[in-house]
Structure 1
Amino acid sequence: MLNEIYKEYGEYFYVPMTQGYSIAIPITVGCSWNKCLYCDLNQGNKYRFLGLEEIDRRLKILKDYYSNRHRTVKKVVMAGGNPLCLDTNILIEIIKLIRYYFPHVDNISGFARANDILRKSKDELLRLKALGVGELSIGIESGNNEVLAFHNKGVTREDNYLALTRLEQCNISYSTYIMLGLGGRKLSKKHAIDTAKFLSEFNPDVIIVVTLVLFKNAKLVEKVRKKEFIRLRPLESLKEEKLLIENLNLKNTIFNGTHKTNALILKGRLPQQKDILLDKIHRELEEYNNDDMKDKEVLKWKRWSVE
């Protein structure tokens, strides 16, 4: 049954890490931008809106599915690369449908780009918040404009700054995605420090840290082959993460570095557990000096050595 619901999303179906226990409601397929060099998460899917009629049909199926499991659905995530790009009035109609089938829902989340947020007025965002929209996931990736421009992110540091400012003004909760290694070897230090400085100006609920991987159909592949971009090895990405954390000055944010792409699993609350996270990285770096650890890296990341 669920395979039919999510058939357009391909073999890999991505939802925000903070929404792993939310019910995914198909809204859009693909990303409205879909031009970032590093990305192939949409697996060739062109962006499209499923339409209210189709969303209604799938909500009926999901309602029956979860009713049979005696589960009260309280959190849903709007599926798609950035469903918040839709017109506010359409989003409101979608939310009405969601609430009709799942009346106990108290939070509606989803991925969003900075320009999706900036295209909406403060009044529009407040209307969405009043209907339960929150815990948005924003792909900041980097606080360095040179890094963002190289990867054709389509937004600048300033765009991201304005978008997060607007969310905080509206008291809409959000998490941010940050990508280790996005600056390559050339911009690794700038990427880490500038990203930390950027994040320290805000108060995200969660900072989600992932590590750059090379999707075979991503446009970044050609840059790597031409030596225009040199990827970080696991040891280097770990040092970059250490630099990032050292420069973070936050009020009360969860640092979530548990993604499977990362060289080390890390999670803690900042600033309270900053020293604990840094100590764990320090111990990992010390252990790396022995031959066993180096052999493990070669085994796990052997494809990197042929660049």
Structure 2
Amino acid sequence: MLDEVYKEYGEYFYVPMTQGYSVAVPVTLGCSWDKCLYCDLNQGNRFKFFGLEEIENRLKILNKFYSNRKKPVERVVMAGGNPFCLDTDILIEIIHLIKTYFPQVKNISSFARADDILRKSKDELLELKKFGMGELSIGVESGNDGVLAFHNKGITREENYRALIKLEECDISYSTYIMLGLGGKRLSKENAIDTASLLSMVNPQVIIVVTLVSFKGAKLVEKIRNGEFERLSVLDSIKEEKILLENLHMRNTIFNATHKTNALILKGKLPEQKDILLNKINKALEEYDQRAMRNKEIYKWRNWSLE
């Protein structure tokens, strides 16, 4: 039954890590930007809005599938690379549809880019919050403008900052994705320090840490082959994470580095557990066995599609 709901999304279907237990409702396919060098998550799919009629058709199937569950559906995530790029009036209609088929829903979330947020006025954001938009997941990736420009992110550090502050002013919860290794070996330290300084200026509920992966269909692969971009080793990525964490000064944030791309699995609350997390990193660096870690990395990516 659910195969029909998610048929366009292919082998890899992504939702925000904070929304793993939410019901995913197909809203868009692909990303409205889709020009980042490092990214191949959309698997060649052009951006597409499914339309209200088709969204309702999928909701009917999902409603039937979850109708026999004892616990009602209370959390929904709009599926797609960045559904929040849609106009506010369309998003409100989608929210109404979701609440029609899942009337007890308490939180509706979505992936978003900074420019999706900046295009909306505060009044629009507040209206979306009033109707049930409860959390956004933002792909910040880096706080370094050189890194963002190299990867053709289409967003600057300042724009990321303004978007996150705008959400805070509207009291909309959000998590941020950041990426170890995005600066390569040349800008590793700068990537860590500048990303930490940006995040320390705002207050995300969760910082989600992932590690750069060279997807075979990504444009970054060509730059790796011609030597323009040098990837970090597993050891280098752990060292970068240490610099990042050392320079993070948060007030009340979850540091979540449990993503499968990371060499080291970490999770804790900042600032209370910062020293505990750093001690784990230091221990990993002391015990690092290059061959064992390399074999682990090869095995992990060989089994990516099975996880």
Q: TM-score, normalised by structure 1?
A: 0.96
User: Which amino acid letter does the alignment assign opposite residue 299 of structure 1?
Assistant: N
In the other structure, the counterpart of 1:48 is 48
In the other structure, the counterpart of 2:60 is 60
String of CA shifts for 1:220-242, please: whole Å, max 9, x gaps.
00000000000001100000000
String of CA shifts for 1:102-158, please: whole Å, max 9, x gaps.
010010001000000000000000000001112210000000000000000001001
Distance 2:29 2:260 in 1: 24
Any stretches of 5+ residues in structure 1 without a counterpart?
none
In the other structure, the counterpart of 1:297 is 293
In the other structure, the counterpart of 1:231 is 231
Distance 2:293 2:216 in 1: 21
Whether contact under 8 Å (2:78, 2:108) holds in the other structure is: yes
In the other structure, the counterpart of 1:270 is 270
String of CA shifts for 1:222-263, please: whole Å, max 9, x gaps.
000000000001100000000000000000000000001101
In the other structure, the counterpart of 2:247 is 247
Distance 1:129 1:187 in 2: 38
In the other structure, the counterpart of 1:287 is 287
Distance 1:172 1:115 in 2: 16
After superposition, the Cα gap between the structure-2 partners of 1:302 and 1:72, relative to the gap in structure 1 and judged at 3 Å, is closer
Whether contact under 8 Å (2:258, 2:265) holds in the other structure is: yes
Distance 1:232 1:295 in 2: 15
In the other structure, the counterpart of 1:214 is 214
* Identity level (%): 72
In the other structure, the counterpart of 1:91 is 91
Any stretches of 5+ residues in structure 2 without a counterpart?
300-307
Whether contact under 8 Å (2:31, 2:42) holds in the other structure is: yes
In the other structure, the counterpart of 1:70 is 70
What SS does the aligned partner of 2:175 have?
strand
What SS does the aligned partner of 1:18 have?
helix
Distance 1:267 1:300 in 2: 20
Q: List aligned pairs for 1:8-157, cutoff 5 A.
A: 8-157=8-157
Task: State the Cα distance separating 1:201 from its structure 2 match.
Answer: 0.5
What SS does the aligned partner of 1:21 have?
coil
Distance 2:267 2:74 in 1: 25
Distance 1:162 1:298 in 2: 39
User: Which amino acid letter does the alignment assign opposite residue 119 of structure 1?
Assistant: R
Distance 1:250 1:112 in 2: 22
Task: State the Cα distance separating 1:301 from its structure 2 match.
Answer: 4.0
Distance 1:71 1:252 in 2: 30
String of CA shifts for 1:195-219, please: whole Å, max 9, x gaps.
0000000110000000000000000
In the other structure, the counterpart of 1:6 is 6
Task: State the Cα distance separating 1:75 from its structure 2 match.
Answer: 0.3
In the other structure, the counterpart of 1:185 is 185
What SS does the aligned partner of 1:110 have?
strand
Distance 1:68 1:298 in 2: 45
Distance 2:158 2:83 in 1: 22
In the other structure, the counterpart of 1:198 is 198
Shifted more, 26-35 versus 128-137: the winner is 128-137
String of CA shifts for 1:141-189, please: whole Å, max 9, x gaps.
0000000000000010011011001000000000000000000000000
Q: Where in structure 1 do 4 or more consecutive aligned residues deviate above 6 Å?
A: none
What SS does the aligned partner of 1:134 have?
strand
Q: TM-score, normalised by structure 2?
A: 0.96
Task: State the Cα distance separating 1:302 from its structure 2 match.
Answer: 5.6
Distance 1:103 1:134 in 2: 15
Distance 1:111 1:202 in 2: 18
User: Which amino acid letter does the alignment assign opposite residue 296 of structure 1?
Assistant: A
What SS does the aligned partner of 2:108 have?
strand
Count of residues paired in the alignment? 299
What SS does the aligned partner of 1:135 have?
strand
Please, what is the CA RMSD of the aligned residues?
0.9
Distance 2:122 2:212 in 1: 33
Task: State the Cα distance separating 1:295 from its structure 2 match.
Answer: 1.8
Distance 2:295 2:75 in 1: 40
String of CA shifts for 1:254-303, please: whole Å, max 9, x gaps.
00000011010000000000000000000000001xxxx22212323469
